[in-house]
Amino acid sequence: MAAGILAAWASPGSVAAEEGAGLKHSGSIRIRQEALDGQFRPGFDNHDDVLVMRSSLFAEWDTGAWRFGGELVDSRAYDTDAGSVLNANDVDAFEPVQAYVAGDFDTPFRQGQCGHGAGWTLHDEPGVAPPGGVR
């Protein structure tokens, strides 16, 4: 099996822009030519080649305390024939791969409610009074 890269424009994240009030976006396009010789599976061409293209677009809007983001990916295959091992089930045309809402908070928990990066505390710490001051 042999594969050769025809062209590549912008690795993911290398073309990024910031506009206005916290809007970020980036994208990439990858174009690749693949060839297969000596196909061992019966019912397919002995020699096969295909031109594949993958495009992605990412955007995030930062409002300060909240961030809204998402990513779309489009994959296409060209120059396939009836005897090709590649078919429509192997190519995902235009699909959302992620969507999210995230928040940044200075102090999300009161003192004693959350350990320092270790997760929730399950017992009282010696010398620290619980909320309300009663043990």
More confident residue, 89 or 60: 60
3, pLDDT greater than 80: no
- 22 with 44: CB under 8 angstroms? no
Q: What is the pTM of this model?
A: 0.56
- 73 with 29: CB under 8 angstroms? no
- 118 with 104: CB under 8 angstroms? no
* pLDDT tens per residue, range 33-59: 888 777 776 777 767 778 889 999 999
129, pLDDT greater than 90: no
- 26 with 12: CB under 8 angstroms? yes
SS3 assignment, position 16: strand
**DSSP result, 23-53:** EEEEEEEEEEEEEEES--STTS-SEEEEEEE
